[in-house]
Amino acid sequence: MRKIDQVKTSRSKPMRLLVLGISRTGTSSLCLALDKFNYKTFHMMENMKQPNHFFPLWDEAIRAKFNSDGKPYGKAEFDKLLGDYDALSDLPAVLFSPELLQAYPDAKVILTTRDPEKWVNSMQSTIWLAHSWWTFDLLTPFHNLIRGWRTLDTLDWDAFINSSPEKLSIYPRRRDYLSQEYRELAVKRFKEHNEYIRSIVPKENLLVFQAQDGWEPLCEFLGEKVPDEPYPRTWDKDQLAKEAAMLWWIGVGSAVLQIVGPVGVAVGVGWWAKRSGWW
């Protein structure tokens, strides 16, 4: 039985909005903006809140689509996975753009985007930089959040970078995240993805949006009143670097406790046994 088949939840509200732009195109700030209009948005950070639930399911979905490993996810599966959300954004959901558009044809679509060179600069100085820290690999056995994030996000970028709308396969993998070759391929895939979304979504149902556009085009598209406050800004380069470092230190702490803890207990027991004359 697939993991998704063991999930008993179902859709509790209509899916209203699909945000199909790739990571680091203002998706997190847009999620904050959507909060003002009472959207409940599934974003990559939702995975981090429930790693034992979401990470294995997305892993299963990606492998089924890109590796032909099991039955692919469709509307029934996405209703189980995303049933409590009426909007979604970011990876890994964006990898399933055609399936989600087919499953939720009445949902509006936003394509978040930015200058491709600025996008790849941002990726190589934040998310991909963190993935290049080989010490994260040493910490994955000691913390389920790091293990889940490391496994799923690596799989996300394997699928995005190594696949195109015409070729669905995550093989061969490329993980030289900071190289010039990876950068060039990433820009190519970024442009392909944006053009693909533009080509398959009717113009009247699509908003191409950049964070600097602010409230006005977003509110007009959604039929909402413009809030009397600045458009939100979050997860900039410095904030993301701090979060990655914090996650790393959490892993180090967990590793220390799991390695040193048992050793300390063993030493303590040995010392007590010797003092008590048992050894």
- Between CA 237 and CA 230 the distance in angstroms is 20
Task: Characterize 109-121 residue by residue with b for buried, 16 or more Cβ atoms within 10 angstroms of its Cβ, and e for exposed.
Answer: bbbbbbeeeebbe
* Across 52-57, average pLDDT: 93
Please tell me whether residue 161 adopts helix, strand or coil conformation.
helix
Indicate whether 276 pLDDT > 60. Answer: no
Please tell me whether residue 130 adopts helix, strand or coil conformation.
helix
- Choose among 139, 26, 35, 33: nearest CA to 90: 26
Indicate whether 30 pLDDT > 80. Answer: yes
Indicate whether 263 pLDDT > 70. Answer: no
pTM of the model: 0.85
Give the DSSP H/E element, type plus range, for residue 143: none
Indicate whether 252 pLDDT > 60. Answer: no
Instruction: Find tokens 């050894």 and name the residue.
Output: 279
CA distance to 66, 191, 237, per residue, from 242 (Å): 32, 29, 9
Q: Which CATH number among 1.10.579.10, 3.40.50.300, 3.30.1780.10, 3.40.50.10140 corresponds to the domain 4-270?
A: 3.40.50.300
For the chain, the domains span 4-270
The answer to whether 85 and 34 are in contact (CB under 8 A) is: no
Paired sense of beta strands 41-42 and 17-19, if any = unpaired
Residue 1: what pLDDT? Answer: 86
* Beta-sheet strand order (sheet of 17-19): 41-42, 87-89, 17-19, 108-112, 206-209
Indicate whether 4 pLDDT > 90. Answer: yes
The answer to whether 128 and 177 are in contact (CB under 8 A) is: yes
Q: In the 8-state DSSP scheme, what is residue 278? A: -
* Across 47-54, average pLDDT: 88
The answer to whether 231 and 32 are in contact (CB under 8 A) is: no
Residue 169: what pLDDT? Answer: 79
